[in-house]
């Protein structure tokens, strides 16, 4: 089943576009989350396409 997910500041840590090797406790990961949350407040729109629970590249 294909699903389009609107990513926002409340779910970016669940659905964000991160490498599977990303480490949530690393400084770079934390900075990326902080940056994304600020951009969402500025109006950034991000959608993720999932097919049977897996993100797909376009």
SS3 track for the chain? CEEEEEECCCCHHHHCCCCCCCCCCCHHHHHHHHHHHHHHHCCCCEEEEEECCEECCC
pLDDT score at 54: 75
For 7-53, write each residue's pLDDT tens digit. Answer: 999 999 888 766 667 788 889 888 989 999 999 999 999 998 888 87
Residue with tokens 């902080």: 34
- What span, in angstroms and rounded, lies between the C-alpha atoms of 54 and 2? 9
More confident residue, 5 or 55: 5
């Amino acid at each position: 089943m294909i699903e389009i997910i609107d990513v926002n500041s409340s779910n970016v840590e669940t659905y964000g576009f991160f490498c599977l090797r990303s480490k949530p406790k690393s400084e770079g990961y934390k900075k990326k989350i902080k940056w994304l949350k600020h951009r969402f407040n500025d109006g950034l729109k991000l959608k993720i396409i999932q097919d049977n629970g897996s993100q797909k590249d376009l």
